[in-house]
Structure formats: structure tokens, C-alpha cells
Amino acid sequence: MNERLYQWFGGRSAVCATQHGKEQAMGPLLAQHAGIQLFTLPEFDTDRFGTFTREIPRAGSMIEAARAKAISAAEIACVDLAIASEGSFGPHPSFGLIAGNLEIVLLLDRRHGLEIVGQHLTTNVRWVHGVVHSTEQALELAQRGGFPSHAMVVRRSENDPVGMIKGLNDEESFVQAVQHLLATNEGRPIFIESDLRAHCNPTRMQNIRCATLDLLEEMARFCPACGAPGFQRMEAIPGLLCRWCRLPTSLPSAYRFECNRCGHQLTQTVEESFADPGQCSFCNP
Ligand SMILES: [Zn+2]
Ligand SMILES: [Zn+2]
């Protein structure tokens, strides 16, 4: 328990804007470190804010989508504290050929006028997708995606939602769905993909947990000007000098922080004076 965080959040109830069991990943951590009690709204429909299966595109950025969910849930539940999360999958920004998962968790505190965001970017991903011509091919691809502990979606084609079946997590119903669609798709192959909803993909659930830990770290940094939690690390400024050649590397030499409430900013240099030459593109190309 962080005493200072507890003064701001201890004993407060927060609505968790999710219908996919994310409170299981976030709730215990928020309770343990900040004294926040999470609850969910059984009827809250998060699909209208966008789906991974593309029937409903997400409006705006990840943060905008998470904010919209948090505001909506807080209004429905009549509370002043809400937590929402948003995830995305794609090529990892630093290792283009490897799949990455970015998870953000947003805390909205209307009592104190705070919006604090935690995030986690990782290559720890169970995500497969592709066209298949047979049951064997479908099973092989699904198993590479961690099936059956990680559920699958079966559909006619990549963007056709008609007849799509989500949340398939046992071999019998998966094979049945694949065979049925193959038989009724006029000889064309079908498309299968990982079901990326949190309750269907335990690897993603782990990543949401990591993003929640990052949120707590951001919350626990207090603004030196106004004292509010959430003196957020906004940006890493590269250029730490190499110990051997003294040329700038891509490692951060400083971080820029900004208060989410009063806007106070601070640039703080890192503790290390030099970068390991192993990280230098000149000494270790
Ligand atoms: Zn401040
Ligand atoms: Zn060097």
C-alpha cells in the first residue's frame, strides 16, 4: 500500500468499463496499491467503442477510446472514478517483423480532475490469423496461437462478419465451425484469427496486468508543483553518450515529465553518465 496514493484513492469505488473480465487483471492490483475497489456494470456494452474483429471500427486514438469508455461508465454508474483499458495489435514499432501488443489503462478521477494513463508494449503475444483451406490447416494455425487456452474466431473472409463465430475454445466446436463454413463458402477458403478479447486471450490479460502496474507507477509519481498524483513520464529524449566514442546513442539521456492536472513540466537527466558501448551503433554496429 502506498500511503500517499491511499490519501487520494483509498476506499473509493471505481467503475471498470469492461465486459471482458479485465477487472480480474486490474482489480487486485488497484486494491492492493491504492485502496481502490473496482466494480463492473453487467450490461455495459464496450463493443460499440470498437471491436478487434472489425465489425465496429474504433473511433479515434486508443486514449480517446479508453476515455470515452471511462466517461460513459462513470456516468451510468454515477461515480467519480473510472478505469478503462484499450489494446491494439500490430507490427512492433521497434522490431517491425515481430508482432506487438500495446495495452493502455486509463484512470479518470472527476473528483480531482485527473486523467492518468499506464501502458505496456510487448512482443509477448499470442495472435495468429490467416486463410485456411482445410480443418487440418485450421487446427495447425490455431494451435500456433495457443488454442485451446486462447480462443479463436472463424469467419468466411477477413472482413465479412456474416456467420462469424467468436470465442471458440474447444476443439469440437472449433472443428464444427470450420467444417460448416468451409462447406457453405462456395468452394472458397475461410479466414480464422485469434479472439483478442481479454477473457479469450490469457496472454493479453497478462499484458493488461502489466499496463495496470505501469499505471500505478505513474499514479505514484506526484507533481512537484501541485502535489497531484500522475506526474506522467511523457517522453524519452535519446542521446546518452557512448562510454568509448562519446557519440550520442539512441538510449535516453533524459525524460520529460508532465503533470496531468496543472501541466507543470520537468526534464530530468538519467542517472547513468554514459551508455554501454554494446548499445552504440558506431562501436557495435
Ligand atoms: Zn501539477
Ligand atoms: Zn561508441
Give the model confidence (pLDDT) of 141-183 as tens digits: 999 999 999 999 999 999 999 989 999 999 999 999 999 999 9
Q: Are residues 17 and 114 in the same domain?
A: yes
- Same domain? For 61 and 30 the reply is yes
pLDDT, residue 165, reads 96
Strands (DSSP E) contained in 123-247 are: 129-132, 152-155, 165-168, 190-194, 231-238
**156 close to 191: Cβ distance less than 8 angstroms:** yes
Residue 94 and residue 117 in one domain: yes
Alpha carbon of 95 to ligand 2 centroid (Å): 22
pLDDT at 189: 96
Could you give the 3-state DSSP secondary structure of residue 258? strand
Band of the pLDDT at 49, cuts 50, 70, 90?
confident
From ligand 2's centre to the CA of 283, what distance in Å? 4
Number of domains in the chain: 3
The ligand whose atoms approach the alpha carbon of 283 most closely is 2
For residue 226, being part of any structural domain is answered with no
Instruction: Judge whether 98 and 119 are in contact, CB under 8 Å.
Output: no
Task: Return phi, psi of residue 194, to 5°.
Answer: -65, 140
pLDDT tens track for 68-125: 999 999 999 999 999 999 999 998 887 778 899 999 999 999 999 999 999 999 999 9
Please tell me the number of the ligand nearest to residue 243's CA: 2
Query: Among 1-10, 92-101, 259-268, which stretch is predicted with the lowest mean pLDDT?
Result: 92-101
Query: Which ipTM did the prediction report?
Result: 0.89
Q: In degrees to the nearest 10, what's the CA dihedral of 153, 158, 164, 170?
A: -20
> Which ligand has the shortest distance to the CA of 282?
2
Tell the residue number behind the cell numbers 495489435, with chain if given. Answer: 89
Task: Say which ligand is closest to the CA of 277.
Answer: 2
CATH number at residue 82: 3.90.950.10
Task: Give me the domain span that covers residue 56.
Answer: 3-125+200-220
The whole-number pLDDT of residue 25 equals: 94
| Inside any domain, residue 52 | yes
- Answer whether residue 42 shows pLDDT above 80: yes
Give domain status of residue 76, yes or no. Answer: yes
231 found inside a domain: no
* Distance from the alpha carbon of residue 112 to the mean position of ligand 1, in angstroms: 11
